Amino acid sequence: MGAASCDGDGERNAVVVGLQPVALVDHVARVDWAMLESVPGERGGSIRVTATELEDILAQVNKHVLPNGDFSSPIRTLAGGSVANTLRGLAGGLGVRCKMVGARGNDEQGKMFATSMRSFQVDLSCLRVKSGPTGQCVCLVDALGNRTMRPCLSDAVRLQASELTREDFKGIKWLVLNGYGFYGEELVESAAHLAKLEGALVSMDLASFEVVRNFRPRLLKLLQSRKVDLCFANEDEARELMGGEPESTPESALKFLSQYCNNAVVMLGSKGCIARSGDEVVRAKAVEGGSVVDTTGAGDLFASGFLYGMINGLSLDHCCKLGCCTGAAVVQDLGGEIKQQGKKWMLQNMASMGLPVFQA
């Protein structure tokens, strides 16, 4: 593999840097459960597949399009990845200066990824361009908006821990990490260390219960280091982190996370969220009124709204409401990005709840 180049030049220091070691292109499709029976792994989860398996799934999608679907194509292709989703929500939806640290291939998928991210005003000056393929993921969405993800990353180019430099994090206020980064040896740990040298705060999303199960010792070690200032988890992820505790509740999960982080959030889907900052605990209801087409990116965009509140010094209650609002906006269309109509809906709801909109 040849030397990597960078994907453009940054103009100003970013407020938020997101670490996504592997650029992803999502292939999103609405399907019926009959089709999902033939896909390996648990429904609703995320397990890796080979390139051959990915092509087979995509071929099957064209035969199992959801009846009466209202989309012009069975498959919608767009830039993907949890961190990418969060950065797009912050930059394109809320005007926060964001930069991505990671790698993409020099193929057509990689170019499409870069074009999509730039359209949401995300700085790609620290996105390395390498010779090789870009990662891909099939996102299968059922009639209720639930999604099953099958990423193909085996041959995809990726960022290595040794490639990170302090310059990647210069001047930032927040680093956004995701549990999927643990697939890179020492990568998450190195990024957190370098960000702390710059005086930045660190946010961690646990990603999925499979990720927590696979990397629990490393995740706990990072949390115990006290380098994570804000942790996001859903109920399944928190339960897995607690060792599969069958009697765990959102409250007990929040208490567990708060041992290691000053700020912790347990996302409850349609029931809203519960969050803690120091000794303060806040519950927020989900924002109602929007349709649910695809839950892909709901947690990622919840993080966008919550972080936006933290960046601007808002109350914990406002941070929770912002997260619920941005999370509700993204589920109204296919894929993990807020489309123009969803953005309009989001801003209207923010205004009705008295939530301020800044330009960071």
Residue 9's pLDDT band (boundaries 50, 70, 90)? low
What average pLDDT does this structure show over 72-99?
89
- Burial label, 347 (beta-carbon count in 10 A; 0-12, 13-18, 19+): middle
Structure tokens at 75: 């498959």
pLDDT digit string (tens) for 123-162?
A: 999 999 999 999 999 988 877 777 888 989 889 999 999 9
Residue 288's pLDDT band (boundaries 50, 70, 90)? confident
> Is residue 250 within 8 Å of residue 237, measured between CB atoms?
no
How high is the pLDDT of residue 242?
94
Structure tokens at 61: 């999608």
Strands 122-130 and 273-277 come out as unpaired
E strand or H helix at 101? strand 98-105
Q: Work out the angle between the directed axes of helices 187-197 and 209-224 (0-180°, nearest 10).
A: 40
For the ranges 159-168, 174-183, 332-341, 344-353, which has the lowest average pLDDT?
332-341
Q: Which residue has the higher pLDDT, 128 or 342?
A: 128
Structure tokens at 311: 């960046």
Provide the mean pLDDT of the chain.
89
The four Cα atoms 66, 72, 74, 79 give a dihedral, to 10 degrees, of: -120
Share of the chain above pLDDT 70, in %: 93
The CATH code of the domain at 18-352 is 3.40.1190.20
Query: What are the distances in angstroms from CA 138 to CA 57, 97, 133, 219, 328?
Result: 8, 29, 16, 26, 22
Residue 71's pLDDT band (boundaries 50, 70, 90)? very low
Domain range summary for the chain, segments of one domain joined by +? 18-352
Residue 64's pLDDT band (boundaries 50, 70, 90)? low
pLDDT digit string (tens) for 303-340?
A: 999 999 999 999 999 999 999 999 999 988 888 888 88
Structure tokens at 1: 């593999």
